[in-house]
Amino acid sequence: MLRKMLILTLSLLTCCIVAASAQALTLTDGEAVKDRFAANPRPIKDIGDPYVLKAGDEYFTFATGGSIGFNVWRSADLSTFSKEKAVKKIDWVSDSYWAPEVFEVGGRYYMFFTGRWKENGSLRIGVAIADQPQGPYEDAIGGPLFDFGHAVIDGTLVYDDAGVPYMIYSRDCSENVVGSYHESHLYGVQLADDLLSTVGEAVLLTRPDAEWELKSGDYRWNEGPAVLKHDGKYYLFYSANYYGGKEYTLGVAVADHPLGPYTKQANNPVLNYIETPEKVIVSGPGHNSFFTVGDEIFTSYHTHTYPDVPSGNRQVHIDRVGFHADGTAYINGPTVHKQLRPLDDAGLLNFISIAITDDQHALLADGDTCQAASSAAYVYTAKEAAFTWPKPVTADMLLIYPALDQPISGTVTINGSLTAEFSYEPFYRRPGGYALLTFEPTEITSLELTFDCESGVGEVMLIGEAK
């Protein structure tokens, strides 16, 4: 009995010593890290169909220009932009300068774009070439890239494993009637190596046939294709529904080859509008494109500048993209909270990605940064999470992203002794919200999170400067 009492007394003494050694983590006001963040929408408005090209240390944003050719917006940080003229009027085009996409090939820049052909008033895809990303771009062939006898729009370029180029585009609903419906369908066709002509026949890839794609009455759309390749598969992102309505949203179809066959993901749409009972917050998120910065993938897309009265006046959004372990693609968006700029640009690292975890906590350190997962398979749900590092990492910022933007609160403990409380209370459901703690640069070997209740967490990021 005496031995048991002695053990109990020593245990209580140890607890008291640990409790006494705990101290508050000194938090900062965040002013020192504000330049690490950028917010949607970006200050480019009255456009559509944005495409971002990263070239060197700059970003070049191209977008639908109506009847004026194409402008380009240059930026070093994706927050501030300067505008220049990239394409003046092209001889064979009367108007409808839409959906420019620019690809660097062999040291030159190829812009694929949509224009209305003067010859017959029908929409076609053209190509213009420049020696530098900002242009000026000059028409390459004096007419459409191809003419299959009907209107086509929204061409994008993709290469297969053998380096063979393909164009994926939309057969436009203006000249494609199926039964009683006008429908836009996605097609693919091989291009010649010089990208200035086609090879063989075009192949039908997708058509609007899912329930979420049929919100616009007698007109139906699959348009605005953009392709990512991941683990040997081709992910074809596309927009559906009327571009001037809030339901203009993004879906994904997956194939083993650029020409399919494609299977649409079960979790479509992967980018959707946001509304409350009182108002629409984000309307018409669609027509996206992709760019990479370091190991991160980003997408640019447009939303309606005035969500309560959607129209052709649209603005640029940029958000992160990723893939779950099962291959399902996702987009962290639409976000309206400030988000971290590309980590590589800001000279930052997310140290959670190199943390040691057990199987229970691995979901938060597996590289899956989905911040708005709706499936329990992609959400970490528990009252605690713990991370350790074999060598100290120096960090000064912690972001905790609740899944589905639900309320979250709790305590963080660093190195077993430094503690701070965190909380986040959304005022309406939207992805991308987070609890944020900023502190002086601190060498960290362990980090523990204790949640006040069992919470669904989409991601945790411990951020510090790259050395």
Distance CA(290)–CA(320), nearest Å, equals 9
Residues of the chain with CATH 2.60.120.260: 23-35+345-465
Q: CA 186, 192, 195, 200: dihedral to nearest 10 degrees?
A: -20
Residue 26: pLDDT above 60? yes
Q: Which of 127, 258, 135 is nearest to 195 (CA)?
A: 127
Question: DSSP string of 450-464?
Answer: EEEEEEEEEEEEEEE
Cβ count within 10 A of residue 84: 12
Do you know the residue count of the chain? 467
**How confident is the model at residue 14, as a pLDDT?**
33
Class of domain 40-336: mainly beta
Residues of the chain with CATH 2.115.10.20: 40-336
Distance CA(242)–CA(337), nearest Å, equals 26
454 pLDDT band, cuts 50/70/90, is: confident
Distance CA(65)–CA(70), nearest Å, equals 5
381, 454 contact by CB (below 8 A): yes
Second-level CATH architecture of 23-35+345-465: Sandwich (2.60)
**How confident is the model at residue 358, as a pLDDT?**
65
Joined tokens for residue 184: 């836009």
Of the candidate ranges 164-178, 251-265, 328-342, the one whose mean pLDDT is the lowest: 328-342
In 89-236, alpha helices (H):
none
Residue 129: pLDDT above 90? yes
Question: Number of C-alpha atoms within 13 angstroms, CB side, residue 25?
Answer: 28
CA angle in degrees (0–180, nearest 5) for 81-77-295? 135
Scan for tokens 């991308």, then name that residue: 432
Q: Is 107 exposed, middle or buried (0-12, 13-18, 19+ CB in 10 A)?
A: exposed
Q: What is the mean pLDDT of residues 309-313?
A: 95
pLDDT tens digit string along 353-405? 888 876 555 667 666 777 665 666 777 888 898 999 999 999 999 999 888 67
Q: Which residues contact 27 (CB under 8 A, 6 or more apart)?
A: 420, 437, 438, 439
Position 394, amino acid: T
Q: Which of 318, 336, 308 is nearest to 428 (CA)?
A: 336
Position 127, amino acid: V
**How confident is the model at residue 441, as a pLDDT?**
96
**How confident is the model at residue 20, as a pLDDT?**
42
**How confident is the model at residue 366, as a pLDDT?**
65
Distance CA(193)–CA(110), nearest Å, equals 13
Residue 19: pLDDT above 50? no
Tabulate helix, strand, coil % of the chain (nearest 5): 10, 50, 40
**How confident is the model at residue 402, as a pLDDT?**
87
**How confident is the model at residue 381, as a pLDDT?**
80
**How confident is the model at residue 9, as a pLDDT?**
30
Residue 212: pLDDT above 90? yes
Q: What is the mean pLDDT of the chain?
A: 91
185-191/198-206 β-pairing: antiparallel
Q: Which of 117, 122, 112 is nearest to 198 (CA)?
A: 112
